[in-house]
Structure 1
Amino acid sequence: MSGYYALQIGNQQFFTGKHGAEQRRLLVPQYRFAVFYSTLAGIPALMHSRLIVRAGGKTWTPFHSQPALCNWVRAQQTSKFTIEWRLEELKVSPSNAVAWAADVVGIGTWQNLAEEVALLAHDAIHRIESTTGESPVTTCVRQAYRTAREFETRAMTGRYQKTTPPDGVTPATIQSFGEQLVAKPTAPSIAVPKPADAANAPPATPVDSPVNPTANVEQGASAAAIEKAPPEPLPTKPAESVSSYPPIVLDIFKAICAQEDYEHLKKSCNETESGIVVPVTIFAKHGLPSSKVLQILADNKLLVQISDSRRSAILTKAARGLLFPSTP
């Protein structure tokens, strides 16, 4: 569940506020990958801190020569294993978590990432507690752990509801996928399309083949009908095209619209003659300070003014299509 929430949270986060458009195009996918993989890399430490796994009279720890739990259980050559909850959660330092992650993730996973992304990805592994000045990657990983734990708590204390996994998803397929990740940690090679085979190409029509005389008549009739048809009215062009704004502006509003409480957020906004009044807090959840976001909006002529208390701001009416994309 942590990896699932990491994907969701990573898509709502700003990572490259100080980079140019080309750097953003290259780095944003890397940052999102780093959030997902850093979250998974901390799972061995989370398991060791909360669970006790025994098989064949032995207890599993990430220090074994086979840190992957499935391989360790198989090596015990026993028909069953037991899992127990620790009465008190074991404290595991981030240093140990990174060391265990190297055994699970494998060498070469980070080789195609930019240096700044790889450094932040390693720093984010098994960061449970909030720290001052943490990176956006660390924030995403910590929020993914917290959200997964809240889901787990609700599932354990709530009423049991039987669920069916999607078609094709079974414990065996999940196990096979995990083994492939361990065996091939690096990115797969990109398949290059082969040139078309002339032998398989459809036969060309001979030049001296007979021509159907009615075909030309039908084509002429259809062409005449097209000429007589009245032209369709052109769509009304909006005052300001959404695509005309810089990518950073589009990402800001995309992240706002992707929030879980977006419907509640819409109700907190108020449209007036001056513009759209919004709480400033909606800009402070995505990795950039709210002051920086407001400056970006002001530079792109989307900000009218900020209240004296700095708790609310008025956006121009041109921002309506960005803030409420599904509202006519």
Structure 2
Amino acid sequence: MRFEYQEAKDLIRSVDQQTNVLQLLENAANMDSAAFDTHCLRLVHSLAEYVLACPLRKDVYHGPTGALRFGLFSGLFAFRVADQKIFTTGVGTEIRRQLDPQYRFAAFAACLGAIPALIHSNLEVRDATTDRVWHGFRHNAPLAQWLKESGAKSPYEIAWRKAPATTSPATVAVLATDVFGQGFWNTFDPGVTRAMYDALMPGDMRPGETPLTTTVREAQRLAREYELRAATRPYVGTEPPAGVSAESLAQAIADTAPTKANSDEAPPLADTGANSGGDPDPSPEPEKELSLYETLPAVLQQFFTAIRADDEYERLMQNIKATEAGIVVPIAALGRYGLSPTSVVEQLSTVGLVAAKEGRRIVLKHEAKALLERDQK
């Protein structure tokens, strides 16, 4: 595959004209315009400088601008998935208010920062003029800068590797720095930065992983699925699928509703052999009756745990009233614990705890009272 040199800003404009992705990103980021330009757009332009029009993988996003589109789309999905996660527990409300926006942004940034390692693992890129081979461990690592070293904006040629090159977490982190730039994370909490670097290479779900890692994996999966669904004919990858558009991307984001796949549940246990034809257990243990708390998805368990740990718990409970209809809760109060109020209402509705919605309040069923009391689960 041969590509003529195009400026990064022109490639971004081309993708945006087709998908309106920058406006969707700004809406999802929930930042003011200045913060969006300083943080999100800065990384978008940095990623475009790094990858130019490179594809990403043989099986998906393997047309022109594939790597850039995967970074943008997975980052967009990351903001949506992050709205359904609780990143901080066991800390005060004020600290949570500072950290949660950082974690949301870190999920977006990790999706973009993961791209350089994927590119170098899957592709070999050559300067079509000098036949030099591009690699990431150099001073002018971004492809745009590297191609300009010869004094001209050279065309470049791409070949797929026969098998993806082995990549370690350390390599992924080093290459991601060329997208972030030196000092980019200086104003972020060190714990957020560590979690972001750990999330760059999510791999398969593993016990004890952070909510940020789970968010990045889910966002990447959704971005892959979107590209494949958008193909209205056999996916040949010579160009973006015909179904990739502003309308289809906006609809895909809107359809990303809370599901079990978005929770932090552990993977299924391995087969123990209980149904493999052996003798049954002569004295099976009676099943323990689960409390309401134990039946909730992990994200709601974390939500109610955060409420009970709130240093303003007493004042919060003064605004929550028990009535004949149920437990009346101001919707605005639900946004103090790492999830947006809308996401909390969706999650509570999904598990059947919402009795009614009354303007700016929701009415929870009476059994939810136990979830709010500090001395119970």
Task: Check 1:252–1:81 CA distance in 2 against 1; reply closer, same or farther (3 A cut).
Answer: closer
CA contact (8 A) 1:39 1:126 kept: no
Q: Which amino acid aligns with 1:105?
A: F
Q: Which ranges of structure 1 fall in alignment gaps of 5 or more residues?
A: 167-236, 279-293, 306-328
Match of 1:95 in 2: 170
Distance apart, 1:270 and its partner CA? 8.8
* CA distance, structure 2, for counterparts of residue 20 and residue 132 of structure 1: 26
Distance apart, 1:12 and its partner CA? 1.9
SS in 2 for 1:111: coil
Match of 1:71 in 2: 145
Distance apart, 1:242 and its partner CA? 1.5
Rg: which structure is higher?
Answer: 1
Structure 1 residue 161 corresponds to structure 2 residue 249: no
Distance apart, 1:49 and its partner CA? 1.7
Structure 1 residue 28 corresponds to structure 2 residue 28: no
Task: Check 1:97–1:250 CA distance in 2 against 1; reply closer, same or farther (3 A cut).
Answer: closer
SS in 1 for 2:167: coil
Q: Which amino acid aligns with 2:343?
A: A
Structure 1 residue 124 corresponds to structure 2 residue 193: no
Match of 1:48 in 2: 120
Deviation digits for residues 133-161 of structure 1 (CA, Å, limit 9, x no counterpart): 11111111122222222333444584642
CA contact (8 A) 2:78 2:215 kept: yes
* CA distance, structure 1, for counterparts of residue 322 and residue 370 of structure 2: 22
Distance apart, 1:96 and its partner CA? 0.5
* CA distance, structure 2, for counterparts of residue 115 and residue 90 of structure 1: 31
Task: Check 1:68–1:250 CA distance in 2 against 1; reply closer, same or farther (3 A cut).
Answer: closer
Task: State the 4+ residue runs in structure 1 displaced beyond 6 angstroms.
Answer: none
Quote the RMSD (CA, aligned, Å).
3.9
Distance apart, 1:29 and its partner CA? 0.7
- TM-score, length-scaled by structure 2: 0.47
Distance apart, 1:126 and its partner CA? 2.2
Structure 1 residue 11 corresponds to structure 2 residue 86: no
Task: Check 1:73–1:276 CA distance in 2 against 1; reply closer, same or farther (3 A cut).
Answer: farther
Deviation digits for residues 17-36 of structure 1 (CA, Å, limit 9, x no counterpart): 22211111111111111111
Q: Which ranges of structure 2 fall in alignment gaps of 5 or more residues?
A: 1-72, 235-240, 248-320, 356-363
* CA distance, structure 1, for counterparts of residue 133 and residue 229 of structure 2: 29
* CA distance, structure 1, for counterparts of residue 110 and residue 183 of structure 2: 14
Match of 1:255 in 2: 343
SS in 2 for 1:17: coil
Distance apart, 1:116 and its partner CA? 1.6
Q: Which amino acid aligns with 1:35?
A: A
Match of 1:242 in 2: 330
Structure 1 residue 108 corresponds to structure 2 residue 180: no
Task: Check 1:244–1:30 CA distance in 2 against 1; reply closer, same or farther (3 A cut).
Answer: closer
Q: Which amino acid aligns with 2:223?
A: A
SS in 1 for 2:339: helix
Distance apart, 1:64 and its partner CA? 2.9
* CA distance, structure 2, for counterparts of residue 151 and residue 244 of structure 1: 32
CA contact (8 A) 1:49 1:92 kept: yes
Task: Check 1:271–1:256 CA distance in 2 against 1; reply closer, same or farther (3 A cut).
Answer: closer
